[in-house]
């Protein structure tokens, strides 16, 4: 239904409005948090709370896979006890995830959906890299929507970040609140993005562009990244998160002697730019060493550049 859809000035803007609508200091004086069921999560959420400490997050389980790969999984026991202990205003998960390339499984998503419904907590799904556009998914995954899910999409990853167009599909109450926040913040979202998108949807062009151009392009980049990773790090103790979607590779150096922050500084001197991992663990209380052992790398760049970069990283951590 039309009244379930809201256009915003980009997905970043959607999350600013959603987080501060559903969490933080509430009208009755109480305070609510955004629950991140799995971290690392998208770094862009980090500073969006108008009040401090808006996030609480759950340390994930790590499942080791073949070829020095691994995958984060939601720890549902911890999740359930965290929900009980805190006043949670919304659950938020990105799928695929920037920075890790993780795509939580259909089973995980279903369980999250049930828990959210049972506790009457909206479940925000950040679908910026997901279906139907840009469809930067390299694994099988299905998307669901119900009245308790707030589905966020973006035009950025179609190559249109400059148009700042976010799309939110939510129940009418949330949709109406978002549209009012829009009014106060910016009067109206910009109309160029919807203008172009509407035509492309009507002409059935958008899905074709995704399946024929965007998805194959990034799938190829992801495949290459895995190959280069295996070639460069053959004999080194490093793990890569299974690259199931989005445009990044997420490396974990369990024996790293410096912090990822220090590694970032060292690499910058050599003109290699990575994002140190600890920034992506919003809302975690525990002193989990893992947070300082990971880095994010953009893997959608030129192959030779990526290989050179990984080689320099190998030299630096050795």
Catalog residues that contact a copy of itself under the rule CB under 8 A: 9-10, 12-13, 16, 44, 47-48, 50, 161-164, 184-193, 195
Nearest to 291 by CA among 280, 299, 283, 300: 280
Shortest gap between Cβ of 16 and a copy of itself (angstroms)? 5
Shortest gap between Cβ of 20 and a copy of itself (angstroms)? 9
Q: Are strands 275-276 and 239-241 parallel, antiparallel or unpaired?
A: unpaired
Of residues 138 and 247, the one with the C-beta less far from a copy of itself: 247
Shortest gap between Cβ of 313 and a copy of itself (angstroms)? 27
Shortest gap between Cβ of 182 and a copy of itself (angstroms)? 10
Q: Are strands 149-154 and 123-126 parallel, antiparallel or unpaired?
A: parallel
DSSP state of 241: E
Nearest to 43 by CA among 62, 57, 31: 57
To the nearest 10°, the Cα dihedral for 165, 169, 171, 173? 0
Of residues 52 and 255, the one with the C-beta less far from a copy of itself: 52
Shortest gap between Cβ of 259 and a copy of itself (angstroms)? 24
Of residues 11 and 293, the one with the C-beta less far from a copy of itself: 11
In whole angstroms, what is the distance from residue 66 CA to residue 37 CA?
A: 25
Of residues 12 and 57, the one with the C-beta less far from a copy of itself: 12
Of residues 162 and 254, the one with the C-beta less far from a copy of itself: 162
CB atoms within 10 A of CB 113: 18
Contact 169, 145 (CB under 8 A): yes
């Amino acid at each position: 239904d039309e009244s379930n859809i809201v256009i915003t000035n980009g997905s970043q803007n959607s999350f600013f409005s959603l987080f501060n609508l559903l969490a933080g200091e509430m009208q009755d004086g109480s305070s609510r948090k955004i629950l991140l069921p799995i971290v690392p999560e998208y770094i862009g959420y980090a500073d969006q709370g108008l009040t401090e400490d808006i996030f609480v997050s759950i340390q994930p389980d790590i499942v080791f896979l073949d070829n020095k790969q691994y995958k984060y999984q939601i720890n549902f026991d911890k999740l359930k006890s965290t929900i009980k202990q805190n006043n949670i205003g919304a659950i938020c998960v990105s799928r695929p995830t920037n920075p890790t390339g993780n795509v939580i499984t259909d089973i995980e998503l279903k369980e999250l959906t049930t828990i959210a419904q049972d506790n009457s907590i909206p479940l925000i799904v950040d679908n910026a890299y997901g279906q139907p556009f840009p469809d930067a998914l390299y694994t099988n995954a299905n998307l669901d929507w119900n009245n308790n899910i707030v589905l966020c999409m973006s035009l950025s990853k179609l190559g249109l970040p400059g148009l700042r167009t976010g799309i939110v599909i939510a129940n009418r109450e949330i949709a109406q609140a978002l549209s009012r926040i829009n009014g106060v913040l910016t009067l109206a979202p910009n109309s160029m993005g919807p203008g172009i998108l509407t035509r492309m949807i009507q002409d059935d062009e958008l899905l074709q562009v995704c399946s024929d151009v965007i998805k194959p392009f990034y799938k190829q980049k992801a495949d290459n990244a895995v190959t280069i990773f295996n070639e460069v790090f053959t004999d080194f103790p490093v793990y890569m998160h299974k690259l199931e979607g989005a445009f990044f590779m997420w490396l974990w150096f369990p024996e790293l002697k410096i912090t990822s922050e220090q590694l970032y500084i060292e690499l910058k001197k050599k003109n290699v730019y990575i994002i140190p991992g600890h920034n992506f663990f919003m809302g975690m209380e525990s002193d989990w060493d893992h947070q300082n052992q990971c880095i994010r790398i953009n893997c959608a760049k030129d192959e030779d550049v990526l290989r050179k970069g990984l080689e320099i990283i190998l030299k630096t951590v050795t």
